[in-house]
Structure 1
Amino acid sequence: MAVLAILEAKPMTGYELAKFFDHSIAHIWQASHSQIYPELKKLEREGLIEAKQQARGNLATKSVYAVMPAGGDELERWANQVVPPLHERSPELLKVMYQEWASYQVAEQQFEAHRVYYLQLYVKWAAHAEDLRLGNTDLMRHRLKDASAEASAAVLAYKVHVYEGLLERAQMEIDWATKGIALVERLLAEAGTPPGHRAASPSSARRR
């Protein structure tokens, strides 16, 4: 569906599609280029897209993919399905649940890595959200080129809403990690562990 949604904006080669994927949908749905090319072939076999050969230089050709009417119908069918949220499955949260088996130092590093990761994402998502508000991405310009005023307003509003949600989530994750660092410091103070002596884990005494 992600591939169909991008190709719906305009026909493009696999290379162009992969680039657009990296700078748009990959923020919420990551896929490697090695996954995208087989997906193009699968969609072509199913009659949802077609590939036309165009000249590339004097001797070579390139495949340009475009959405077929059946592909547009499938995209519309998918968009009109209500999808329930997935159950949470987070390796990081699972680890934090049992962080008492790690040293205080490692626990603090885990929270700091989480905080830094979402700080970086916040900056990236904020920049992309602003570009979307202004219609200032290559893919958005193609998508809005022949769209009606009503469709253009919906295209922009839904996509900006997604990124506003991502920004709120990133800020929540940053705040959570910051509180986690403070939690480790509190546990250290309560344990009477002197600064610089953070190697042992709270549960290590159980194994002695």
Structure 2
Amino acid sequence: WLSFLRGLVDSDTLPLNVSREMLQAHSSLKTIRKKLVRKVLDHLKRLADEEAKCAEERKEGGGKEGDKENPKECSRYSDFWKEFGRSIKLGVIEDSTNRLRLAKLLRFRTSKSPDAPTSLDAYVSGVKLSARLASTPCVVVAGRFGQTANMERIMRAQALGDGAAAAAARAQRALEINPRHPLIKALLARVESDADDATAAESAALLFETALLESGYALDDPKARAGSEH
């Protein structure tokens, strides 16, 4: 995932009179690789923290003071994310050792910040649970430009409704999660223990489909769910 990184490392611990295969397996090379990854992550975190601090200062100053002093200093991580965000996402998948640190560097567009991606921590801290989420693990709601459950039912009943339109409508749904619900906490614990936990994946799918039904939406394939329950 660090394919975007280019540089030269000066080391006097690597043997020069061995084959390339032996060199790649040398312990010093593994140490160098580990330290390089750590330095890159530290640098990216510093950029992200500086940008967050700038945003907070602008917010406290009414969005005016300091806006034009060092505009580049306040958008260095955003600029990096635009260019190499995919690499960070790939790192979350590939690098299990640094997955948690990389996850904090992820940025997401939300309905409140469509033009300025935000971190997951910042998003969660700013979310207020709706009344429907007070006693349930998750609910499905219509996205900003999506259709309500009732409108989807009407569209399904229309003879002229096509598959492309139905798929577009499904893409506009939003899943709201209650992070304080016991089921969500238990699911998170299982995933943190084993990212490939099949039971966790099945439980997540069941929670989503239950939320669909409780929110008034229809399952895309009811027969498949009925079969899995048996």
> What TM-score do you get using the length of structure 1 for normalisation?
0.26
Bigger strand share: 1
Bigger helix share: 1
- Bigger RCO (CA 8 Å, 6+ sep): 1
